[in-house]
Amino acid sequence: MSAAVEYEPVIGLEIHVQLSTRTKMFCGCELSFGDEPNVHTCPVCLGHPGTLPTVNEQAIRFALMIAAALECEVAERSIFHRKNYFYPDLPKGYQISQYDEPLAVNGRLGDVRIHRAHLEEDAAKLIHVGESGRIHGSGASLVDFNRGGTPLVEIVTEPDIRSAAQAREWAQLLRTTLRQLGVSDVNMEEGSLRVDGNISLRPRGSEELGVKTELKNMNSFRFLERGIEAELVRQRELLEAGEEVVQETLHFHPEDGSLTPLRSKEYAHDYRYFPEPDLVPVAPNEQTLREAREALPELPAARRDRYVTEVGLPDGAAEMLAFQPAYGDYFERALEVADGASATAIANWVTGELVASLREVGDEDDPLASKAGPEALASLAALVEARKISHGSGKQVLAKLVAEGGDPAKIVESEGLAQISDEGELAAIVDAAIAAEPAAAEQIRAGNAKAIGRIVGVVMKETRGRADGGAVQKLIRERLGA
């Protein structure tokens, strides 16, 4: 038996992003989802004889913003091609896409390089009539052209990803980035963000790329990770059994996590690309490019870096706030009005207790609209930091804020949560607790520091959390000479 080879995953992603422009890529039909079938159509997007495409300027602007956000080089002149194949969801018999002269190349997002980003149009939606809803065994197929012609940006990464989890995390960073640009709804379940994977394994240390497979239909971040993981396992088993990976396209089934190859007939096309003669090249001028750059909001990666270097937040909190901009915005508002609370304390409250409490009431999407406003959270953090109330009391105040809103100081007063600051009063309670727990007291005297928790617990129960834990521990140790 030979020594086991250690394999390294090599993963690249291909992402299709539906742009949220007002109208379609090549005609004036409104983009709208969930309406009756075939109401958003015209002779152009139905491919009637004699019709011609015209480029949606807003789609170009959005694509240039994406190119800028991904730090791509924008081509001085990019052209559209026709990608030819027959299918009922493709009314012209060709898709207008970009091919060997794409809009943008050589970019980067986080630790993954971007190979290219280009514009194209989406196909229409096929509805298979029959019990299964699938093509096989259906009695008829209907076409809804409402989606046909929706502007898409296709983003192709370099094969820089090394694990399924990294693929998911990076895709989430991309989604946040695109969402912040305001150019797409980026919803994987609804298909406005579609992520396919190109997956291969190679012996660790090797520079060569192994045979890759293309993985499709992972319509959530969870499925993206699970699908890639399943394919990595499959490839590893093949290689370890001395077999070869076959280059093919695989379909991920989220119901049971299985992978099935698409029949070769369905994807082995000769697309006969050639330059689309009905359109002129896209040649953005310097002003258009500048406007696209200037339209960029602060993007997640830059925001995380700013939180770490300028605000001094720990990495975890910085990333969470940067990648969930709604919480980042909430944090920055709280920081603006903060009187006495440190940035890190506020960030910890936001990323910890606030997220958890809002999630409990199903209100986590828009913290700024919750009853617990950033001003209140800032005062709450200040009260805790100044030791006016204990951390435990702070959680009670936050629960109250999330449920009803209000002013933390008043809640502290009305609920009697103010920390016991009278040393004498606290000492008396500690003495009573030691007397109530003689066994624990004996262990502490004997050097078992862990036993202190039992006595602290009694004190906290007695004070309903209003005592400062640190002060209580100090008093107990003094009393017991530990």
Partner 1 sequence: MDLLELTVAQAAAAIRSGELDRAEYLDAYRRAAADDPLNAFLTAEGDDPTNASDGGGELAGIPIAVKDIFCTEGIATTAGSRILEGYVPPYTSTAVRRLREAGALVHGKTNMDEFAMGSSNENSAYGAVLNPWDTSRVPGGSSGGSAAAVAGRLAPAAIGTDTGGSIRQPASLCGLVGLKPTYGAISRYGMIAFASSLDQCGPLTRDVTDAALLLRAMEGRDPCDSTSVGLEPGVEAPSREDLSGLSFGVPRELASEAEGIEPGVREVFERTLSRIEELGGEVSETELPHAPHGISAYYVLAPAEASANLARYDGVRFGMRAGDAEDLTAMYESTRAEGFGAEVKRRIMLGTYALSSGYYEAYYGRAQRVRTKIAEDFSRAFERFDFVVAPTSPSVAFELGSRTDDPLAMYMSDYCTVPMSLAGIPAISIPAGLARPDSSNGATGPELPVGFQIAGPAFSEAGLLDAAFALERAIGFEARPGGEGP
* Contacts with partner 1, residue ranges (CB under 8 A): 43, 46-55, 82, 84, 86, 88, 91-94, 143, 270, 272-274, 277-280
Cβ neighbours of 39 (radius 10 Å): 12
Residues forming a β-bridge with 282: 78
Give me the least distance between CB of 263 and partner 1, in Å please. Answer: 13
| 264-277 CB burial, b ≥16 within 10 A, e <16 | eeeeeeeeeeeebe
Supply the DSSP symbol for 351. Answer: I
**Quick one: 120 or 169, whose CB is closer to partner 1?**
120
Give me the least distance between CB of 42 and partner 1, in Å please. Answer: 8
**Quick one: 275 or 457, whose CB is closer to partner 1?**
275
On whether the CB atoms of residues 368 and 374 are closer than 8 A, the answer is yes
Closest by CA to 289, choosing from 103, 449, 64, 59, is 64
Max alpha carbon distance in the chain (Å)? 96
**Quick one: 94 or 252, whose CB is closer to partner 1?**
94
The vertex-231 CA angle with 228 and 236, nearest 5°, equals 125
**Quick one: 46 or 195, whose CB is closer to partner 1?**
46
Give me the least distance between CB of 61 and partner 1, in Å please. Answer: 17
**Quick one: 88 or 312, whose CB is closer to partner 1?**
88
Q: Please tell me the chain's helix, strand, coil percentages from 3-state DSSP, rounded to the nearest 5.
A: 40, 20, 40
Give me the least distance between CB of 46 and partner 1, in Å please. Answer: 6
On whether the CB atoms of residues 99 and 273 are closer than 8 A, the answer is yes
**Quick one: 43 or 257, whose CB is closer to partner 1?**
43
Give me the least distance between CB of 267 and partner 1, in Å please. Answer: 14
**Quick one: 33 or 273, whose CB is closer to partner 1?**
273
Which two three-digit tokens encode residue 209? Answer: 């790329």
**Quick one: 52 or 246, whose CB is closer to partner 1?**
52
Instruction: Say whether 283 sits in a helix, a strand or coil.
Output: coil
The vertex-274 CA angle with 270 and 275, nearest 5°, equals 155
Give me the least distance between CB of 92 and partner 1, in Å please. Answer: 5
Phi, psi of 432 (to 5 degrees): -65, -35
Report the alpha-carbon distance of residue 433 to residue 426 in Å, rounded.
11
Radius of gyration (C-alpha) of the chain in whole angstroms: 30
**Quick one: 96 or 215, whose CB is closer to partner 1?**
96
Burial of 410 (0-12, 13-18, 19+ CB in 10 A): exposed
**Quick one: 49 or 438, whose CB is closer to partner 1?**
49
| 304-336 CB burial, b ≥16 within 10 A, e <16 | beebbeebebeeebbbbbbbbbebbebbbbbbe
Q: Which residue, chain included where needed, has tokens 């139905």?
A: 46
Can you state the angle between helices 315-323 and 325-337, rounded to 10 degrees?
110
**Quick one: 46 or 317, whose CB is closer to partner 1?**
46
Phi, psi of 104 (to 5 degrees): -145, 145
Give me the least distance between CB of 99 and partner 1, in Å please. Answer: 11
Cα separations in angstroms, 122 against 31, 48, 278: 12, 17, 18
Cα separations in angstroms, 222 against 109, 254, 260, 464: 21, 10, 19, 41
